[in-house]
Amino acid sequence: MVSKSASIKRDRSDSFSVERLPKTTVLRFHQRESLAGSDLGLIHGLWDFFEAERREPSRVLVVLAPPNLLSPRSLERLLGSRDTTGSLTATEVSDRILREENVVQRFIENLRELNSFVVGVVGGEIAFPLAAPLLACDYRIVSSDSVFVNTTQAVPRAPLAGLPWLLAKMVGGARASQLLLDVPRLVANDALELGLVNHVTAPGHLEGEALEVAERLGSLPRATLVSLKRAIIASSEDFQTYHQKELTLTHKLASAYWKEE
């Protein structure tokens, strides 16, 4: 477990807080009804956090979301129901969806660009169209009562933030299509078997176990974590690009090995 005597630096805002331990940083989102209506203060605060994380990367970054933040109800509030968007024109609705989706996409891009190994943690219901931020993390932890809920047929639009691309890289194109079109609910243990998540824990112990996993990963050499992350991300590019990056990463890992703290 994380030592209670460890030096912790906390940054706080209305919507999230940041705790910095010697080898682990925790980005903890506060409970909110949904992702919808994210104020500019929250968005700018997140971008400032990612900028600081790029300058001084943590060995492990834990992104901890409250239960049901990615739920179908949150998705409905994010995209707007017929009742809430009935007075808007088609262009206004489209602009609203595009704006929200751009925020999610930028969040994912920040996660993938960091030289911090990112552990994503969430419990409760997860709407598949909102699952991309979790799946974009380098290591994914959910509670045993978590369930991925398929809302594809109920929402007449493509999933958010490149979810089909992420799923296809994880489970293959045929299985990705099946999950999005023909699987109403996917429970945590089935997601673990498919490789969508790495660890399933009891609901009441989600945060505690996540921090223990992060501490264990944080004990690994920084060069190992960074090189592994960059290699796995590069593997989703074309093979020639991946091969060149793999050679570079292998050289960097060998060079950095003897310099590790």
- Delimit the domains of the chain by residue range: 9-219, 221-261
The pLDDT score that the predictor gives to residue 107 is 86
Burial code of 85-98, b = ≥16 C-beta within 10 A, e = fewer? Answer: eeeeeeeeeeebbe
The pLDDT score that the predictor gives to residue 4 is 43
The pLDDT score that the predictor gives to residue 74 is 73
Residues counted in the chain = 261
What is the third-level CATH fold of 9-219? Answer: 2-enoyl-CoA Hydratase; Chain A, domain 1 (3.90.226)
The pLDDT score that the predictor gives to residue 6 is 45
* 3-state SS track over 65-81: CCCCCCCHHHHHHHHCC
Distances (CA, A) of 178 to 154, 159, 164, 184, 228: 16, 14, 11, 10, 29
Partner residues linked to 118 by β-bridges: 61
The pLDDT score that the predictor gives to residue 95 is 62
| CA gap 120, 142 in Å, rounded | 8
pTM score, whole prediction: 0.82
| CA gap 92, 78 in Å, rounded | 14
Q: Tens place of pLDDT for every residue, the chain, 261 residues?
A: 444 434 445 555 677 899 998 889 999 988 765 555 556 667 788 899 999 999 999 999 999 988 878 877 777 666 655 555 455 555 665 566 666 667 778 888 899 999 999 999 999 999 887 888 899 999 999 999 999 998 765 555 555 567 888 888 899 989 988 988 888 899 999 999 999 999 999 988 999 999 999 999 999 988 889 999 999 888 877 777 767 776 777 666 666 555 555
Distances (CA, A) of 62 to 12, 68, 146, 179, 194: 16, 17, 18, 27, 22
